[in-house]
Amino acid sequence: MHFTDEQLAIIAHPAGHARIVAVAGSGKTSTLTAYLARRLNEGANPRRLLVLMYNKAAQQDVSRRLASEQPQQTLPEVRTFHSLGYRILQRLVHDGDLPPVHWDLLNDAQIEPVVWRLLRAAAVDEEQAEDILSRKKKWVEPALNYFELVKSSLASPAEVFEQSGLPKVCRIFIDVFAQFEQWRADQRRLTFADLLYDPVRCLIAKPDVAQRFAGHMDEILVDEYQDINPIQQALLDILHGGRGQVMVVGDPDQTIYEFRGSQPSLLTEAFQQQFADPQDYQLSWTFRYGHQLSLLANHLIQAGADRTAASTLCFSHASTANTRVRQIRSDDSAQAALDCIRHWQGERPLTDIAVLNRLWANSARLELKLLAANLPYRLESHRTVLERFELSPFWVLLDLASGEFSCYNEEQRRQAWRTLLTQPYLKIRKAVVDDLLSRLAGVAHDTARHLRNALPENLTSFQADQLLERARLIQRAEEGRVNASELVSGWMIGTDYLNALRDNAFSAQQVDDQVATVTAFVDFIAAQRWPAAEAGDQLRALQAQRRASGQNGVTLTSIHKAKGREWPCVLIPELNARFYPYHPEGDLSRPASEDSERRLLYVALTRARDEAILLTPLTRQDTPDSPFLKEMNWDGCRTLAEALAQSHSEVSLPASMNSQVVERYLKAQQSALQIHWQAPQAEDPSTEPQRRLRHPKFGAGRLLDDDGTRLSIRFVRDGQVRQFDRAQAWPMLEWLDD
């Protein structure tokens, strides 16, 4: 293998601490494997070499490569942080420093009921207790996310809460965390996070015990260092113990796990404070994608607030083939994606294609179109679109229409009735709902009449009216003489389902996911024109068809799950101001960082090898372009990439391009290309950056117009533009760009 000068410098690293910044596709794993092979060939003791990888897949990859290159050698330990924590925890328990535990880890199904019970007990009043009782998911999910955040940190639970951005109503999480930890201690149980949390807390509390684990390694190598959190950093510090050398590898531009506690400053700032005088290296040459994508990615990431003129850029290596980057404008992103997939299908296997979504909300419509087109796909989510919780009422209605409901067993009917009575949620007390369920679970026929007869007298008039409306819709389903579209849209309209989802979800991201899924499903059903009595069977046939196709299809995944991977063809849908940057607002949500959102798009772009397509809005009045699109300087990057590919001697570029990025890129390429900078054009007011803000009622938005007396603001939550009296509204606004 031919290594670059940057790679050779790392492979030959003589001694001392080292920090490597490696861009996407830079041959990092090959370089690290070659470095380790060199150290072993020089006689380094493999038992005093420790390699820490971020996840199991990376750990297995490095282990496999080392074994291939050094088949006769004793190899160093290659572990994930959690597997190392597990081993240390076993030792601490064996030595009596921690009490015995059950080694089978708690799963979500075991944890959630305990947390739900503790939340109800911690409620500040009866209203909150009833809300927790009736809306388990709304409360349990953010509580568990908070627990994970605490266990990634060295700060106290109270400090973590203050830094989390969670609203005051969630303050009960602090006490619930303490109670959960007490329950866990009493039961001697562990979660996955505790494989690090428990041993590290023990070692910090008992310095004499920590000394037993310190300083045994001559070298520690840590991959994906930008993603580690304070608890992992503390373990690294303990293991180092002031002895030996530490080499870390990461890319601050790919830090996208801050919501899990990752801190990019551990790589960019804290490393040299903890490990003195490190040697800095770069892997800036990418072997994955060509000039245009490198230039677009560099312009995008260089617009971040934390970037400097010396920050690492990615440069396409001479051996790297051209990557075609296109922007397709369409107001139907799913149809545009389907058209792209069909085009690619004629040229390459579907497994070459990945659709990278900012939210799962972005994938629902495309997934349904792929089902209808009989195109196989691989979904990297827990549920396919047809299995989503928010579609449950529609399945029950369609089974009522077909007669399938009468074949349910009693427990299935109980669950079906729970769905019909609580989706959407009517704030009926759980005890009342449970009583209704016990009376209706045995009903298999004439369900609407039985529901009307079972209504208790202690309902509010609103609740009674809503349940009577549901009985009417159930009766229409039972009669079976409507088409499926009338039935599902009737439920959506009659129950005000979409607004109910907005009111009842725990975060705006969940709202966006659920509303997008429901509207995509309703539109899909309308397009099929199935009779209601046949629709359930048709949908099940589509599900069976997908299962039969196996995993040999298009990959539908999130950008977070795509990190560390690559595909020949990448689609990025819904690249607009609503989703890039995405600023979720909701009663139990955490605020988002614009720099983090920019890094997320950077990660998505740099997954592509041969072709990347960005799906952007056609009609930009209702759905504006993402501000990140302008930061990329699309036309200039394309022009410069073409000039480099065709070995031009000169090129004219727009003054809006980042001249430092251009100059550094040309210098790295050893290009003599002469640049003529075009005169700056007068800024079109319609393209000026729109200031981001937060309104106390409507949440995050962008200022579209300020004429001195009136403000025009488009809000992220519902996409609506609202007008405000400037004098009244201005003091209430929080400016997010300041």
What are the mean pLDDT values of the chain's consecutive 10-residue runs (738 residues total)? Answer: 93 96 95 94 95 88 88 89 97 97 94 95 90 82 93 96 88 98 98 97 97 96 93 96 95 88 83 93 97 98 81 95 94 94 94 94 91 90 84 95 93 92 86 90 92 91 92 91 93 90 69 86 93 95 85 91 94 93 61 82 97 91 86 95 94 94 96 91 54 82 81 76 84 76
> Distance (Å, rounded) from C-alpha 59 to C-alpha 33?
12
- CATH number of 5-95+197-283, picked from 3.40.50.300, 3.30.565.10, 2.60.40.10, 1.10.3720.10: 3.40.50.300
Helix (H) or strand (E) holding 320: none
Return the pLDDT at 505.
63
Strand partners, 219: 49, 245
Report the candidate in 573, 556, 525 with the shortest Cα–Cα distance to residue 372.
525
Beta strand 49-53 pairing with 219-222: parallel
160-165, long-range: CB within 8 Å, 24+ apart, which pairs?
A: 164/590, 165/590, 165/591
Q: Which amino acid is at 342?
A: R
> Distance (Å, rounded) from C-alpha 572 to C-alpha 580?
11
- Helices 508-528 and 484-494 pack at an angle, to 10 degrees, of 150
Is there a common fold for 5-95+197-283 and 323-376+551-630? yes
Provide CB contacts within 8 A for 655, sequence distance 6+. Answer: 677, 678, 679, 680, 681
Report the candidate in 440, 438, 463 with the shortest Cα–Cα distance to residue 451.
440
- CATH number of 323-376+551-630, picked from 3.40.50.300, 3.40.630.30, 3.40.1190.20, 2.40.170.20: 3.40.50.300
The token pair at 735 is 């400016």
> Distance (Å, rounded) from C-alpha 727 to C-alpha 708?
9
3-state class (DSSP) for residue 413: helix
> Distance (Å, rounded) from C-alpha 613 to C-alpha 615?
6
Return the pLDDT at 660.
94
> Distance (Å, rounded) from C-alpha 271 to C-alpha 234?
12
CB of 214 closer than 8 Å to CB of 240: yes
> Distance (Å, rounded) from C-alpha 176 to C-alpha 119?
6
Within a 10 A sphere around the Cβ of 407, how many other Cβ atoms?
11
Beta strand 699-706 pairing with 692-695: antiparallel
Classify residue 531 as left (phi > 0), alpha (psi -120 to 50) or beta. Answer: beta
Domain range summary for the chain, segments of one domain joined by +: 5-95+197-283, 108-189, 323-376+551-630, 386-548, 690-735
Return the pLDDT at 644.
96
Residue environment code for 73-105, b if the CB has 16+ CB neighbours within 10 A, otherwise e: eebbbbbbbbbbbbebbeebbeeebbeebeeee
- For the purposes of burial, counting CB atoms within 10 Å of the CB of 268, is it exposed (0-12), middle (13-18) or buried (19 or more)? middle
Provide CB contacts within 8 A for 78, sequence distance 6+. Answer: 51, 53, 59, 62, 63, 66
CB of 236 closer than 8 Å to CB of 226: no
> Distance (Å, rounded) from C-alpha 169 to C-alpha 131?
12
> Distance (Å, rounded) from C-alpha 33 to C-alpha 49?
13
Return the pLDDT at 692.
81
Report the candidate in 334, 326, 361, 358 with the shortest Cα–Cα distance to residue 569.
326
> Distance (Å, rounded) from C-alpha 621 to C-alpha 343?
29
Return the pLDDT at 470.
92
Return the pLDDT at 507.
62
Q: What is the pTM of this model?
A: 0.86
Classify residue 629 as left (phi > 0), alpha (psi -120 to 50) or beta. Answer: alpha
